[in-house]
Amino acid sequence: MKVATVKYTWSRSPSVDVVLQKVEITKNGVLEVFEFPPETQEFIGTVQAASNVSFRVESIDSENNTVFSDLYTFTLGDLEAPLPATNLFHEVLEVVDVPDEPVV
């Protein structure tokens, strides 16, 4: 059986009153919950080949208010073939007004 070492990453809540984060990781239907201080933004764990995985982060503030991140899911293949590129993203760098071009 092959296993992969997986790094789970997220951008933590920018709210200054967050005191605790709970990371919920579900692997093939089995839920695990880990608690981290508010500054944490990554966690490393292992996942067996051919697993379906999802994770989300719960942020808890000093008044015990909670909010969940979006759910992130992925599936590991058999870990025999090459793995695909990951962490594709986009970032808006600037928004500007551009005058309309005259019609010719």
Structure confidence by residue, pLDDT tens digits, 33-92:
999 999 999 999 999 999 999 999 999 999 999 999 999 999 998 999 888 888 887 777
E strands, 1-104, where?
3-9, 18-27, 30-36, 42-48, 52-61, 66-68, 72-75
Domain ranges of the chain: 3-75
Q: 17-39 burial string, b = 16+ CB within 10 Å, else e?
A: ebebbebbbbbeeeeeeeeeebe
Identify the CATH assignment for 3-75 out of 3.50.50.60, 3.90.1150.10, 2.60.40.10, 3.40.50.720: 2.60.40.10
pLDDT level of residue 101 (50, 70, 90 thresholds): confident
Provide the whole-model pTM: 0.79
Check: CB of residue 35 under 8 Å from CB of residue 20. Answer: yes
pLDDT level of residue 100 (50, 70, 90 thresholds): confident
